Amino acid sequence: MKKVVLQKGREHSVLRRHPWIFSGAIKTSESSKPEMVEVVSFNGERLGFGFNSPSSQIRVRIVSFKAEPTRDYLKAKILEAVSSRKYDFSSSQARRLINAENDDLPGLVADAYAGHVVLQLTSKFAADTQALIVETLMESGAKSVSERSDVEVRAKEGLEVGGFAFLAGSEPPETIEIEESGVKFLIDVRKGHKTGYYLDQRAARKAVGEYAFGKVLNCFSYTGGFGHYAAKNAAVTHVLQVDVSAEALKRGREIMALNACPEEKMTFEEADVFKFLRACRDQGKSFDTIVLDPPKFAESKSQVMKAARGYKDINLLAMKLLKPGGILATFSCSSAMTSDLFDKVVSEAAADAKASFRILARTLQADDHPVSISFPEGQYLKGLILRKAL
């Protein structure tokens, strides 16, 4: 196996079991193509085995810190990740089965929707391992395996940015019905966001549904997850779902009907959320519960300060619209936005709103999205559930 030698002093992150080696950390490489390599220190000490990606800034992604990653080793790692979720492929539940670097499988995400598995392969390692991944998932009981290769990050790995591809099993239906804590959803694995849905917010949706009351405003609603949970709460009188996508709102109406929610209890509005909130402010409107679950504002550390301004603006607007005693659930899915910085931004928004808020709960991504203690980048989702003082 060809070797990649690190610069002197650049072995420390690998010794701490961080899986990424950037191009600037490499002294010499015997490999010039995508393949498994042995990573050694400047002094010749073996540090592990990783996949070399010459076209990526993340030059090597560690796959194993000990054993050579043979086919059997990789299959065992896939099975370990899947079995740890204790997922029933015959159920109507949805779960993440493999969480990339956090399961020691760099760039490999596998989500299951009522037994139908959708992959996102964002590293050259994951793409080259596709056949084994599909084989192992089908042996584990998957009804089907498909791939969504429509994420732009693939281009950084020299991979084609494509679309949906059915790979094995019985082809998934146009929409897949799942159930989550008693709430039903319709999932489009071909065109829906991410692999079809935001599975990482499952625990947060349940928590918000329990805290919600009165008039609920769900911003950046997509197909309405938080709002559908809230509508199940008897303390909620009305839910307003707001999103810029007419197609997402159409699916949201279908999900409303699926859950037998009365039409008068839930309405949908197609609008830019920032403009919508400013219009509500100017019209003197108010709400008892507001949910802010925006898309990623920061793709990298260089965009953090701009993102912070966006998070502050939207939280400030929501805080002014919230009635005293009301609930604000606010989230960030930007990994570059740390929890400490997010807390600071929300605190500054509260100060500008001249209002006091108390933290009722903190939320993270659901437990099927585990975070490796050696890979802080895996902790990207954070949320605060706040109550406005009277």
Task: List residues with catalytic annotation.
Answer: 333
Q: How many residues are recorded in the chain?
A: 390
Cβ neighbours of residue 6 under 8 Å, at least 6 residues apart?
Answer: 14, 21, 25, 26, 27, 39, 40, 41, 42, 47
Q: Are 318 and 219 in contact (CB under 8 A)?
A: yes
Q: Angle at the Cα of 388 (from 384 to 389), degrees rounded to 5? A: 135
* Residue whose C-alpha is closest to residue 272's, from 312, 227, 314, 225: 314
| Pairing assessment for the beta strands 20-22 and 58-64 based on DSSP bridges | antiparallel
Q: How far does CA 212 lie from the centroid of its chain?
A: 23
Residue 173 DSSP SS3: coil
Q: Angle at the Cα of 119 (from 146 to 257), degrees rounded to 5? A: 75
Q: Angle at the Cα of 27 (from 26 to 29), degrees rounded to 5? A: 80
Q: Are 107 and 153 in contact (CB under 8 A)?
A: no
- Report d(CA 80, CA 97) in Å as an integer: 10
* Residue whose C-alpha is closest to residue 18's, from 30, 7, 10, 26: 10
Q: Angle at the Cα of 271 (from 265 to 272), degrees rounded to 5? A: 130
